[in-house]
Structure 1
Amino acid sequence: MGTFDYSKLTDPGYFADGRLPAHSDHIVCKNIQEAWDEESSYRMSLNGSWKFRYSANLSDLPKDFEDPSVDCHGWADIRVPAHMQLEGYGVAQYVNVQYPWDGHEDIDPPMIPTKDHPVGNYVKYFTIPKGFINHGLYIRFDGVESAFALWLNGVYVGYSSSSFDAKEFDLTDCMKEDGENKLAVQVFKYNAGSWMEDQDMFRFSGIFRDVTLFTRTSSASDKGCGVVGSEGAITAASAGKNGACDISGMDVYDIKVVTELTDDYTKGKLHVTLKGCGSGQMSLSLFKEKWDRDLNIQAADGDEICSIDTEWTEDIKEDSRNLCSKKTEVTLTADNPSLWSAEDPGLYALIITLYDENGAECGTILQEVGFREFVMGDDHIMYLNGKRIVFNGTDRHEFSARTGRALSHKDMETDVINMKRNNINALRMSHYPNNSYMYKLCDRYGIYVIDETNLETHGTWDAAGQGKKPQSYMVPYDNEDWLDMLIDRGTSMLERDKNHPSVIIWSCGNEAFGGKVIYELSEYFRHTDPTRLVHYEGICHDRRYNDTSDMESRMYPPVAEIKDYLKEHRDKPFICCEYTHAMGNSCGAMYKYTDLTEEEPLYQGGFIWDYIDQSIIRKDRYGVEFQGYGGDFGERPNDNDFCGNGIAFGGDERKPSPKMQSVKYNYQPFAVIVDEDADTVTVRNRTLFTNTDQYIMRLCVERYGKTEYQKDYIVSVEPGQQEVFGLSLEEKIGYGEICNKEGEYVIRVSFLLKEDTRYAEAGYEVAFGEDVFMVENGSEYIVGSEEELALAMNDQLAESESETVDAGSDDSEAADEALLNKIIIPEDEFGNSIDITFGENKPYTVTYGLCNVGIKGENFEALFTEGSALTSYKYMGKELLESKVLPNFWRAPTQNDYGNGAPARYAQWKIASMYLMPKYDIYTQYEHFLGGTPFEVKEHEDHVSISYNYKLQTSPEAECFVTYDVYGDGSIGITLSYDPVEGLIEMPEFGMIFKMNADYDNLKWYGYGPEETYSDKMAGAKLSMYEGKVASQLAPYLLPQESGNHAGVRFASVTDERGRGLLLATELPEGMSFSALPWTPHEIENAAHHFELPPIHHTVVRASIGQLGIAGDNTWGSLTHPEFRLPVEKGKTFKFSFMLRGI
């Protein structure tokens, strides 16, 4: 009976025992139909229900459970693939840099925990279908975290570590072809290799990828076969019952395809290397491949391009790293090949048909091939097929909120489709090789891939860098004890993925400092595969082995830092392997990075951190599901919600988050600059290979969200070129016919898919630009484009030194003059346009009470309380306010705010918002001390002004002023002003806040959308009419935080189901910031999860001149860029005005 030496789990040199060498991920099928269907009669899945017993550590293992005489049928059931911790065994734990055992067991590399070391004992009983065995029986594990030993029918088969690499074993000698087989697998959460798997992720264990039995078309049992031995070396092994090679058929164990293109890219060669065993012949045929839209499958497109017949031509030496002993090399040619790129992922089908020595067909392989060339130019720029490449990329952990890293094919395809729909062209497999199916999707949809070795040791070099440990603590650094393990991981990745055209760069790993061992891995990649480049970011921390990476790679450098570096260093291209940290409400000012790709040739793009939130669905004590993060599982230590960095949410639907709006725009393939004043549109083609004539260019003119004119065009702009087209609007649309209506107009030029693609239907928008202008009293004036708006939003404050509008001063007349008179609500479903007038001269009455002043007019009544605020507003007999209308200077902190210390830095403004105090307080008799009056009421010819002066609880002390101008039609102009005090920092927000009843839960706004917008996150937003439910405005970021803001809002309404409620509007050219949420900023701030938010009782309305940009360069110190803050300068008056009325 086989034995396993558990003591070797702590040996860095022990990472494989009895494992077959890594090879390409091709599948041998019985015939061509199976190949197209991606099924094989030679394979049998062991996915499904297994028997399971959990052990807390190595001292708790079931004795001899692998023995066939030990009946395990009564054990619990567990799903495979799955993580043990998500199946009810053990605890899911999220940590970032620190190792999961930190503080529990004091160990140094390569030792592992002994007390808390969960082991999963798996058993699978199976019978082999009659006729299934052709030649031998083998098993493949695509992913087991983090190491495992296996037995079949009591016989020890082998061991392997490295969670994310595929492993295969030969079961032939111990299988039962008739009767029941017992497969026993012992999965260890920790082994020496766990020190290399310190990725920023949930820590799981278990069999989390597919398990497959397979047989071969020919025996692989001749003496040339090899296995990876216990020390990583190749040793001879018999895979057949008699140890002799059965040569009755042909078997291909490994395929290597390499494409070669002439300098003008008009001719291509396909070099194919096949390795295997047996005897017979092979036929290789090349076809162009297409996607069948109707059947949603791959299919051959046209006739055979070329073919060749061959047989084994060379014996492989016994010490080679291949299973079998035969090899052949052939070359096929293609004239004018369709080149593979992310823009046009042209694939070819290489069909390899195997024949036995009698000429009978015994197997078929379909290997997809992409002709492409990826090189580093003499100018140190990376080129794809002769063109400078730019990575509009994202990093991505494999993750599902229900199944962790055990992703379904549907999950993976959903992600790739969303990437393509949002102009993402590159993916870094962070930080380990992904499920093999993901690479197939990237090949077919067109995604450039950085394939990354399963390596991260952030916790070791972080400790050494802080002086807590010596440099020798770092893994792998210069310690060659780790070299074989690391090379094995690199080999497993390269051999499996080498034929995928989407893979253009090999990465040595992530955040493992530097050193000789990682350099040796980079050299292995270069020597083994010179057709790709090598990446590693860590050399920026350790320049001793600067040649480890072919490119300079950094994480989260400011744009200015990139520019400064490239001024001095022109010997390598520069990429950001991580940037724009997308934690919570983030991705502010991302455009600065994407703009740099067009300004600096050596800067070739970056990868957003990261694609999807790593959250796990849990249930609260009442059975309601929520998105759980670090600490929600009782695990300690943990790193809280730092796992929530996705531009997609982690729920079942994997939906893009609001951040994706900016990502799509910043990554769009065509820059579109519309200039209504010049009557032109400038189109800059950022693609490498695609003319704009492959898309529809649509010209659209909207007025308040309603299309007034639309026409489609085909224009030609070559890749990398720019053209200016005259819009000829006067001729095309005739202002006399359309633009004679008063109002605001948007001219939008979009590029749409001309035909259906794999990821979107014809008509889907991939790029746009727009400009805005007003028509007023028969004349027009320009408001400006979205880009101009983003920078102008925070410049709405008065530029000249002026006195603050004091409560009760005569300057309220001047404030009133700035308020707008009328807004135009766009046509309803009946085609009617509604003009709503503000400040119409209608009769009203003023009632002076002892403590309140009431104003009544047609259909409305307003009540102002002395020393307080506007406390009541009734319209059509219905009270619309459930709180005072008060100044607000606070927002719920974002994760970027927390990271840069904003809550503490701006804490005075939170206090000022919560404890706002009238300068005169009717509940004290301190008028003589505080100064001022309760409020000032002034009656004018057509309105009444009520002014308040508030003391702010800040140090130094400050004050603000609110003036209400009430008109007889029920409209109220509200002006908030503040004169900055020297010594006070800028504020997070400057505006007003009030509550309505929760029945007013419908929101409409004319402004920028459809997603939330902020001054530094305007990219991708369009000026139009939008609507939604109030409860849906708070984005489901893992940590409740500021969200749901809409910038550039001209007017907005909050109504009940009958359409009654409040209308707010501003005349500010750049609009106002506006939100309607079910909770106050303070309630949102106090909740650690969405289920902790209070029950909904109110709709909380905020209108402001703006707020801090949401930032996003990183989430641990990076500030909002200065131009997106609310500037605080003594002598510059903050003033914000808007109108409110019932509807």
Structure 2
Amino acid sequence: MISSRPELSWLEDPGVYEVNRRKAHSDHVFPFFKEAKAEGINVLNLDGTWKFVWDEKPPEYGLRGLSDETGERFFQAAFWEKDWKEIQVPGHVQLQGYDSCHYVNTMYPWDGHSELRPPSVPWEDNPAGSYIREFTIGDDEAFLKDRVFVSFQGVETAFYVWCNQRFVGYGEDGFTPSEYELTGMLHRGVNRLEVRVYKRSSASWIEDQDFFRFTGIFRSVFVYCVPPVHLEDIFVKADLTEDGRDGRLEAELTVESQNGGCYEADLELEDNGQMVLARTEKGQGERNVIVFTGRIPEVKPWSSETPFRYLLRITLRDEKGREEIITQYIGFRRFEIKGGLMCINGRPIAFHGINRHEFDWHRGRAVTEEDMVSDILFLKRHNINAVRTCHYPNQSLWYEFCDRYGIYLMDEANLESHGSWQKMGACEPSWNVPGSLPQWRDCTIDRARSMMERDKNHPSVLIWSCGNESYAGEDIREMGRLFKKRDPGRLVHYEGVFWNREFEDISDMESQMYTPPEKVREFLEHGNGKPFIMCEYMHAMGNSLGGMDRYMELEYKYPAYQGGFVWDMIDQAIAVKKSDGKEYPAYGGDFGDRPTDWQFCGNGILYADRQISPKAAEVKAQYAFVRPRICLEERMVEIENRQIFSDLSGYEFVLKILRDGEDWREFSFEAAACAGETDRQSFETIGLEKDWKPKDGKEYVLKISVRLASDTLWAEKGYETAFCEAVIPGRPEKSKSNFGEPVTLIHGDVNLGARTGQMELMFSYQDGGMVSLKQKGRQWLLRPPMPVYWRASTDNDRGNGFAEESRIWLSKTWFPDLSRGKVKITEEEGEARFSFDMEDAAVGYCVRRDGRLGVNVTFHGKKGYPGLPVFGLGFELPKEADRFFWYGRGPWENYPDRKAGTGLGIYESTPLEQLSRYLKPQECGMHMDTRWLTLQTVQGEWIRFEAEEAPFHFSVLPCSIQELENARHREELPESFRTCVLIAGAVRGVGGNDSWGAPVYPEYEIPGDRDITFSFTVSAGIA
């Protein structure tokens, strides 16, 4: 204990990171676990409404440098003469009407406001919040006679605690519990807990994570009392024997006895109610460590695929017969480096992982149990088997769910000092903290210890991470040494050694961020003897995640490549109400916060409200562990089982055949393959006729669907985990030239009219294109269709410089080169052709006798032209065309480099549904490989676009490219007065290796020096 009175100077002293805090221990007393419990430990949950006051300029700052023997002046300044209001705990100050939200990535939030160097605090911008919670102690003698503690599960960023006006303690590191003893401070009746929370402290220099900078008590608070003989800590080591057949249990129990008397400890281990191990030991003394050991034959190992757990029950009994009973679930598993590879239960592991911030758009990091269950179900349903807790330990309950459902965890310490060593992307560690600075060492190591001691009994935790993006140095090296000494059954991770190879011994694995796949391949081919992971990759900002398959190919080819963690899971955005009461997601800069990194907080494959974004489908497809393939030439189906332990008995398989997009035939079949093997079956085995071959000219799509064979914790029977498809092209009949009535032309001075069937068309010499397309009185065109070269720039387009490099196509789209008076007209066999030639493109129309309009669009490539974002023909249709159907890829939007999660079929949607909810509006809603597209009004009027020589691509949106480009938020888009349709012959990929420089792969670019031609037909009618 440093002091018995509070000192304001602690806020600027990295050597003072806790005062009177209880030693870190396992989370077995956490009162909210539903599958485990602690009998004999009494708990008062203090979550709910607290009294609160917010001081922008705390009066105690005038007392700096002054003190008194009791700390009374500090307490008076913080708690007396206040205008008390109310606040909810758990919760952030900034989300409950106080202060303002501030998002920043690597910069420190005071950059540009205060000239500071560590460990100084910006006192002019260091507000504080005072909390008071009253609670009543009734007739429960335990709270008055036994040992009592208050537990704060999470507080940002530094806080002082009093109870009944007596100073209790001080704490930092808000992402692990801070517990303080209240024994002897409580009395019967009303008691009062007082907490003073400061926005900034020296700890802020090593909490520079890429997130909103919040303040307050954001996790649960509870008071608990323990019996005279109490289990202070449990360390369960549930390992496997070398052959993996048996389990080895070592349970290290730390027992506290208030009177130092004798006690008895019983340990029981159950498998679904059946006892498999029972031990009893006796002990004596105020503090004692008891170690139980045992061997469990034919143990059921824990893994992500089969997260089997045993029930552990520990009973402590003192001389008077008073008991404390702890029950919790444990899993037997072995994690190690074997033959240069990370192995789980003896077999090489592949992390199909993601980075997960704790976040909710209403509650910030104060996430609920419902949020966590939702996240777990999402992970399992999308083939994600691992999470990195970026960049701090999560709530204890999260680890319980990961144990139960089977999610591998990289548990990361609350450490990041990004802004102290990297500025604007350049490595400049001249004043890096913690580095090798002695004054920062203890607080740095304490963060590692606090996380490890709390989480060490969770089988889901495979890797301890020393933090994120803090360069390297002796202080972090000591973190690694602590992990390895205390818990040799887990591995240690730290990516920061990439920047300083002098400290390579810190990390057991080579870990990199955003390295392009080709550079990863080069590294793997030379190697450094360590297994390799990408702790961050596929930066999913905005419309992104293109090219993920390149990384998955590495997993197939190089055993040392053991997967990675996508950045990241959920958009960090705050729900803000508009004047009409509707909520929208606000991001950096929307709160007047400066400095800021704007929408850089929007990297999730979930939107901020936890709705699934289109990007998630690609992750699900790329991460699939059971991977079907169709070999048309060999008339074979292959089911590759890339699971580590499980065979295919947990799945059922369906071969569905579509004919011109419609369901035609379906066959269910079984497959059998052990882990790592492939099942091969002929079409005939599945049920198709031996000589089956389409002969009707229709297009056939064969689709294999992998589905759950029975209900699981995370999805019901029949849930599709993966699919594949193969196409047998059709041979559509071409319309005969003599079919229908000849086309009628009406020549004018400015316009040329044409009629075919019931379709009336008009072409304008003045406007350089088609200005009218009417069918039974419905005018379908609001503006002449014009070539489109530009799409609304994505975050990646702007980040890698493509938007700037290709901006010529923006002007050519917005200000088209019209072919006024240049129309070419030819008539042949009763049909009429019109060609509008422009500088960079030509649009040809053929008015056909069958009542359809043929359209041919050509781009004239030229040497020196930059690459194009897109090339197509844009149509502005009436707003009433507000529902559409298509035969192509769906239902999610998709792009050339992001379409593995979408399949061919017939789908329907609306323009508004296609407007993806990226934080900043950008290109969205594209669908590749489309055979036909039909838009329809509620009256049944329809217009149809149908591919001719090859499938086209399309988007249907309620707004224009210009409106998307100009808007900073989706809610800024104007009310829709039209439906904007783009029929495209070429679409650039979206990319996604990173969002600040990584280009799109060459095969997904559209070179500006090559010609592009595509064609389709247009028809219209009424149902």
- Tell me by how many angstroms 1:713 deviates: 1.9
Letter in 1 for 2:1006: L
1:369 to 321, 330, 338: 330
Distance 1:766 1:189, change over 3 A: same
CA distance in 1, matches of 2:108, 2:738: 65
1:89 to 95, 98, 106: 98
2:775 to 860, 875, 888: 875
Match of 1:452 in 2: 412
Match of 1:393 in 2: 353
Contact 1:839 1:971 in 2 (8 A): no
- Tell me by how many angstroms 1:1133 deviates: 2.6
Letter in 2 for 1:746: V
CA distance in 1, matches of 2:519, 2:125: 44
Match of 1:743 in 2: 698
1:26 to 8, 25, 28: 28
- Tell me by how many angstroms 1:643 deviates: 0.1
Equivalences for residues 28-47 of structure 1 within 5 A: 36=36, 42-47=42-47
Match of 1:318 in 2: none
CA distance in 2, matches of 1:28, 1:1085: 49
2:306 to 321, 339, 344: 344
- Tell me by how many angstroms 1:38 deviates: 8.1
- Tell me by how many angstroms 1:465 deviates: 8.1
Match of 1:679 in 2: 635
Letter in 1 for 2:756: G
Q: Is 1:171 aligned with 2:182?
A: yes
Match of 1:650 in 2: 608
Q: Is 1:196 aligned with 2:158?
A: no
Letter in 2 for 1:49: T
Letter in 2 for 1:963: G
Name the stretch that deviates more: 76-85 or 40-49: 40-49
- Tell me by how many angstroms 1:656 deviates: 1.9
- Tell me by how many angstroms 1:70 deviates: 7.1
CA distance in 1, matches of 2:681, 2:30: 54
Provide the secondary structure at the position in 1 that maps to 2:484: helix
Contact 1:395 1:430 in 2 (8 A): yes
- Tell me by how many angstroms 1:888 deviates: 0.5
- Tell me by how many angstroms 1:986 deviates: 1.7
Equivalences for residues 854-865 of structure 1 within 5 A: 854-865=753-764
Equivalences for residues 694-1093 of structure 1 within 5 A: 694-728=650-684, 732-733=688-689, 739=694, 741-776=696-731, 821=734, 840-867=739-766, 868-920=768-820, 933-951=821-839, 959-1069=840-950, 1071-1093=951-973
Contact 2:605 2:612 in 1 (8 A): yes
Contact 2:466 2:480 in 1 (8 A): yes
Aligned length: 1003
Distance 1:624 1:527, change over 3 A: same
For residues 874-908 of structure 1, the C-alpha deviation after alignment (integer angstroms, 9 at most, x for no partner) is 11211111111111101000100010112211111
- Tell me by how many angstroms 1:413 deviates: 1.1
For residues 723-745 of structure 1, the C-alpha deviation after alignment (integer angstroms, 9 at most, x for no partner) is 32212289635777x95554211
CA distance in 2, matches of 1:1029, 1:1081: 17
Contact 2:669 2:686 in 1 (8 A): no
CA distance in 2, matches of 1:999, 1:1085: 24
Letter in 2 for 1:644: G
Provide the secondary structure at the position in 2 that maps to 1:311: strand
2:270 to 287, 296, 305: 287
Provide the secondary structure at the position in 1 that maps to 2:600: coil
Contact 1:252 1:274 in 2 (8 A): yes
1:604 to 551, 562, 565: 562
For residues 88-114 of structure 1, the C-alpha deviation after alignment (integer angstroms, 9 at most, x for no partner) is 110110000100011111110000111
- Tell me by how many angstroms 1:691 deviates: 0.6
CA distance in 1, matches of 2:548, 2:762: 46
Match of 2:280 in 1: 309
Letter in 2 for 1:692: L
1:209 to 216, 219, 244: 219
Distance 1:151 1:29, change over 3 A: closer
Provide the secondary structure at the position in 2 that maps to 1:635: coil
Contact 1:42 1:132 in 2 (8 A): no
Contact 2:854 2:1015 in 1 (8 A): yes
- Tell me by how many angstroms 1:64 deviates: 5.9
1:1102 to 982, 986, 989: 982
Match of 2:481 in 1: 523
Distance 1:67 1:215, change over 3 A: farther
Match of 1:422 in 2: 382
- Tell me by how many angstroms 1:999 deviates: 1.1
CA distance in 2, matches of 1:166, 1:844: 81
- Tell me by how many angstroms 1:543 deviates: 0.9
Provide the secondary structure at the position in 2 that maps to 1:592: helix
**RMSD (Å) for aligned C-alpha atoms:** 2.3
Match of 1:575 in 2: 533
Name the stretch that deviates more: 325-334 or 1031-1040: 325-334
1:356 to 311, 318, 335: 318
Contact 2:380 2:714 in 1 (8 A): yes
- Tell me by how many angstroms 1:561 deviates: 0.5
- Tell me by how many angstroms 1:866 deviates: 0.7
- Tell me by how many angstroms 1:770 deviates: 1.2
Letter in 1 for 2:46: L
CA distance in 2, matches of 1:70, 1:1046: 60
Contact 1:839 1:968 in 2 (8 A): yes
Contact 1:679 1:729 in 2 (8 A): no
Provide the secondary structure at the position in 1 that maps to 2:813: helix
Provide the secondary structure at the position in 2 that maps to 1:1032: coil
Letter in 1 for 2:161: L
Contact 1:65 1:72 in 2 (8 A): no
Letter in 2 for 1:25: D
Unaligned runs of 5+ residues in structure 1 are 219-249, 289-300, 316-323, 778-819, 823-836, 921-932, 952-958
- Tell me by how many angstroms 1:304 deviates: 1.6
CA distance in 2, matches of 1:119, 1:761: 48
Provide the secondary structure at the position in 1 that maps to 2:699: strand
Distance 1:1062 1:283, change over 3 A: same
Provide the secondary structure at the position in 2 that maps to 1:563: helix
Match of 2:241 in 1: 262
Letter in 1 for 2:390: S
CA distance in 1, matches of 2:215, 2:461: 28
- Tell me by how many angstroms 1:840 deviates: 4.8
Contact 1:697 1:750 in 2 (8 A): yes
CA distance in 2, matches of 1:584, 1:882: 30
Name the stretch that deviates more: 1050-1059 or 391-400: 1050-1059
For residues 41-92 of structure 1, the C-alpha deviation after alignment (integer angstroms, 9 at most, x for no partner) is 6111100000011011343679969579977896100000100011111011
CA distance in 2, matches of 1:1016, 1:127: 61
Unaligned runs of 5+ residues in structure 2 are 63-71
CA distance in 1, matches of 2:425, 2:655: 56
Distance 1:839 1:503, change over 3 A: farther
Contact 1:28 1:42 in 2 (8 A): no
Contact 1:28 1:365 in 2 (8 A): no
CA distance in 1, matches of 2:868, 2:622: 28
Match of 1:251 in 2: 230
Distance 1:28 1:640, change over 3 A: closer
Contact 1:839 1:967 in 2 (8 A): no
CA distance in 1, matches of 2:196, 2:900: 51
CA distance in 1, matches of 2:441, 2:24: 18
Match of 1:789 in 2: none
Equivalences for residues 295-694 of structure 1 within 5 A: 301-312=272-283, 325-360=287-322, 362-377=323-338, 379-463=339-423, 466=426, 471-651=429-609, 654-694=610-650
Letter in 1 for 2:333: R
